[in-house]
Amino acid sequence: MAKKHHIDIRVRFDETDGLGIVHNANYFKYFGIGYSELLRSLGFKPGKEGLAIEKGISFPRGEAYCSYESPAKYGDDLRLYTSIGKVTRRTIKYEFELIRKTRRKRIAKGHITCVAVSIGEKWKAVTLPKELVSRLVEEGYLIK
């Protein structure tokens, strides 16, 4: 089984609506933090153009999905698990599971698919950097 990365999140007041419930758009912010931190743990740092692993390559989102199962509320302590789903020549799918730490209840699950694009060639899709794929395999996040 492939490795999962995790981070802890405490729901802040500004992430909630008037009833203290996390606004749905914030789940995608959490997911973005999840895959950024997974990649940071491998030595890849976010850059001005997104995650610029190699000069001139960025990784915009091509697809994003979230299934909301239970409301997260102001002050909740959450744990976000991030894993790698399907990887193609040009895309990488990050999968997420967000749970409430105190009761181990799942709050949401979802995925984001990012596409490797060349910034210099008008955002044309390019092959994923070999360095990225190699590190994911070496660290156990991707089983080949």
| 51, pLDDT greater than 60 | no
Q: Tens of pLDDT along 107-129? A: 999 999 999 999 877 889 999 99
3-state secondary structure of 39: helix
Please tell me the predicted confidence (pLDDT) of residue 95: 98
Q: Tens of pLDDT along 69-115? A: 999 999 999 999 999 999 999 999 999 999 999 888 999 999 999 99
Detail the DSSP E strand segments found in the chain.
5-10, 57-58, 61-68, 77-87, 91-100, 105-115, 117-118, 124-125
Q: Indicate the fold that domain 5-138 takes in CATH.
A: Thiol Ester Dehydrase; Chain A (3.10.129)
